[in-house]
Amino acid sequence: MHNELFKIGPVTIYGYGLMIALGIFFAYRLVAYRASNRQFPLSHVASLSGWCLAGGFAGAKLLFWLTQMHNIVNDPSLLLNFAEGFVVYGGIIGGIGAGFLYCKIHKIKFLKHLDLFVPSIALAQGFGRIGCLLAGCCYGEETSSWFGITFHDSAIAPNGVALVPTQMIESVFSFSLCFLLLYVAKRTTKAGLVAALYLILYGLGRFVIEFYRGDLIRGEVGLFTTSQLIALLVVALTSLAVVLSRYQKRLVA
């Protein structure tokens, strides 16, 4: 895999950046299309997209810094590197947090807008993981299986050994999750259900995929990686919220 795809004069087009850009583009087109069909104000959708992107970037970078605190203490200049070093779960949390703040400020329904956005989040993640494959990051552990992939000129992944293609596994998983969420969204009017389904299913899928990751830069907490621990917490808290919501509705009924 080659991250440097081609050059236009002095400008180099990198695979990772291109996939991120495509993910953002198609994610926004999807959310805008669905918003127009569901009569959501496009002005709020555009503003929310900007807020969520900013919050997602900040959250992804902040969580990476937290997992690398021991290295940052030894080399504070790492704080100035904004070109690489992001944690997806930090981006999800940061983006949702920014969206929640925007909805509170403008007094619009947060859960309905979150339901609108989560299929696009899954879609963007699918493109993002293709970018990871091109860049060589987020690689899998060594394997002797037939489906292993081998890097030959990567600055990040080990070269010359077969690795579990965790990037493509998560990419296919994310695209499939996007389609599933769109399917469910067409068949329910319950606010928060689509978002809850995304958080639970992505958390479970990410928890399993992490077992096959070979990069250790993400950090570990006991037996689990940082992302696995966050995934477990997100799945547990989301499941609890769903149960409590159903219980409260029964009490009111």
Tens of pLDDT, residues 7-20? 777 777 778 889 99
Quickly state the pLDDT bin for 238 (edges 50, 70, 90).
very high
Q: Does residue 142 lie within any of the structural domains?
A: no
Higher pLDDT, 74 or 204: 204
Q: Does residue 122 lie within any of the structural domains?
A: yes
Residue 113: exposed, middle, or buried by beta-carbon count in 10 A (0-12, 13-18, 19+)?
buried
Q: Does residue 69 lie within any of the structural domains?
A: yes
Are the CB atoms for 86 and 58 separated by under 8 Å?
Answer: no
Higher pLDDT, 106 or 83: 106
End-to-end CA distance of the chain: 57
Percent of the chain with pLDDT over 90: 60
Question: What value does the mean pLDDT take over residues 166-174?
Answer: 96
- What's the pTM value of the predicted model, to 2 decimals? 0.88
Domain span holding position 242: 4-137+152-252
Q: Does residue 127 lie within any of the structural domains?
A: yes
Q: Does residue 147 lie within any of the structural domains?
A: no
Tens of pLDDT, residues 104-156? 999 999 999 999 999 999 999 999 999 999 988 889 999 998 889 999 988 88
Q: Does residue 144 lie within any of the structural domains?
A: no
Q: Does residue 68 lie within any of the structural domains?
A: yes
pLDDT value for 7: 75
Whether 190 has a pLDDT exceeding 70, the answer reads: yes
Domains held by the chain: number:
1
Residue type (1 letter), 141? E
Q: Which of 76-80, 91-95, 182-186 has the lowest mean pLDDT?
A: 76-80
Percent of the chain with pLDDT over 70: 91
Angle at 22 between CA 138 and CA 4, to 5 degrees: 60
Phi and psi, residue 41, nearest 5°: -60, 120
